[in-house]
A and B are shown apart, each in its own frame.
Chain A
């Protein structure tokens, strides 16, 4: 069964600090991995996509990494801002399937 596990479940940091969120997956065959950001009361929005051949990709202060051998991904947030407070969801797509597999998300709270 395809699974996506995220850690930590929740995280509280001070504004300006960095943090790293983790995603481990057992999805086969692997197609791609996306990180979504979900603000309170809104639907998730895609931050970045990682394909098999990509190791690192940045989107502003967000940097995602992928290790396809160990089936792990991370999302690093640099110089956090209050607006980074949200849930971050890791979603893995399987080749030839309509249905991606969702992690349960990491809830990030950034305090001033």
Chain B
């Protein structure tokens, strides 16, 4: 497996509380992504990063923020958790080569199961 660690693996929290999920990589890959996976929707992109302090929104970014202060760490924060954010969250990394497109494969972490009660 690629060197990707997600923490925590499981978390239960209450509505309205802030939550931070961590993704740590040891591959020195440039690109990092946060996805959520829900039944019937597949994997949907929340935010991504194309370098240290360089981040952008994905298709389901509302209610989420991210930070990347080091190449190896990408943090996802739920500012005020809601029940609709109950999901499995996956971090992914990739190393792009050539012209800058995502020609390289994604390596995924094992996921974080988040339950918001």
- A to B contact number (C-beta, < 8 Å): 61
Collect the chain B residues with CB atoms within 8 Å of residue A8's CB: none
| A112 interface contact, C-beta 8 A | no
Does the CB pair A89–B101 fall under 8 Å? no
Whether A43 pairs with B92 at a CB distance below 8 angstroms is yes
Judging by beta carbons under 8 Å apart, are B102 and A102 in contact? no
Give every chain A residue within 8 A of B99 (Cβ-Cβ): 95-96
Chain B residues in the interface with A (C-beta under 8 A): 31, 40-45, 48, 50, 56, 58, 90, 92, 96, 99-103, 105-106, 108-111
- Identify the 10 closest CB pairs spanning chains A and B, nearest first: A43-B108, A104-B42, A46-B105, A93-B102, A96-B101, A95-B101, A102-B43, A100-B102, A44-B108, A31-B101
A residues contacting B by CB (< 8 A) are: 31-32, 34, 36, 41-46, 49, 89, 91, 93-100, 102-105
- Name 6 interchain pairs, CB-CB below 8 A, sorted by A: A93-B102, A97-B101, A98-B31, A98-B48, A98-B101, A102-B42
